[in-house]
Amino acid sequence: MCSNSINKSLKSIDFVDNVKPNIKTSTFEITFKPSAKVDFDQLKKKVEDAGFTVANFVAAINFNNIQAKTSQPVKVGDKTFYILNARDQNLNGNTEVRIVNKGFVSGKESKKITLATTSPARGVYNVTI
């Protein structure tokens, strides 16, 4: 039942192309419509509207030769990322990042993470690679 209500909720979002639930791992693989503007906050809200919380949010971001420095903002499209463990590296191509803002990880884990920005604006995300 949980999987079904979250699945229906996510599929109702206009930029979502497909949702593949994995019942064994309690995860969802979401693909987006080509050239769609993706809103991570809306995805989180839809899960919450279905009566559940997000405990782990991983996204594949296409970086285009971006120089990343720890806790320095990196702009990709309309989103700003603070890469908490960047180690001064060059990011190019699809890279999986884990969003660690409050509400995107468990409450217990959220308390352990030192964020670059504690109350980010919409479209600003603290991430780890």
C-beta separation of 74 from 66 below 8 A: yes
For residue 16, give both structure tokens: 């979502």
Residue-wise pLDDT tens digits, 74-90:
999 899 999 988 888 99
Reduced to 3 states (helix: H, G, I; strand: E, B; else coil), residue 105 is strand
d(CA 103, CA 43): 11
Measured at the CA of 68, the angle between CA 67 and CA 71, to 5 degrees, comes to 150
List pLDDT tens digits, range 61-77: 999 999 999 878 999 98
Which is nearest to 31 in space by CA: 21, 23, 41?
21
Query: Is residue 1 over pLDDT 60?
Result: no
